[in-house]
């Protein structure tokens, strides 16, 4: 391996995409599965996405192509 990886293999990018989807859900007020369930899903995925971004930056060792 040449010390690089494709952009979609990055934990940081994956976490950022999750956060982008959470943002889109909030902006469009989709309320998938009802208001209470949607709030829970958005909250949980928001935290997961942020954790992935932080963890991805800490463990990053390779260059993204």
pLDDT for position 41: 87
pLDDT of residue 30: 80
Predicted pLDDT at 1: 58
CA count, 13 A, side-chain hemisphere, 17: 9
Q: How does pLDDT run along the chain (65 residues), one tens digit per residue? A: 578 999 999 999 999 999 998 888 888 988 777 788 888 888 999 999 999 999 999 999 999 88
Q: Which of 49, 24, 25, 21 minimizes the C-alpha distance to 37?
A: 25
CB 65, CB 6: distance < 8 Å:
yes
1's tokens: 């391996």
What pTM was computed for the model?
0.79
pLDDT at residue 26, as a whole number: 86
Query: Measured between alpha carbons, how far is 24 from 3 in angstroms, rounded to an integer?
Result: 33
């Amino acid at each position: 391996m040449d010390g690089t990886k494709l952009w979609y293999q990055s934990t940081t990018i994956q976490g950022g995409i999750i956060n982008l989807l959470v943002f889109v859900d909030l902006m469009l007020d989709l309320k998938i599965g009802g208001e209470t369930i949607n709030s829970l899903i958005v909250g949980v995925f928001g935290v997961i996405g942020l954790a992935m971004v932080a963890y991805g930056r800490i463990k990053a060792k390779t260059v993204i192509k």
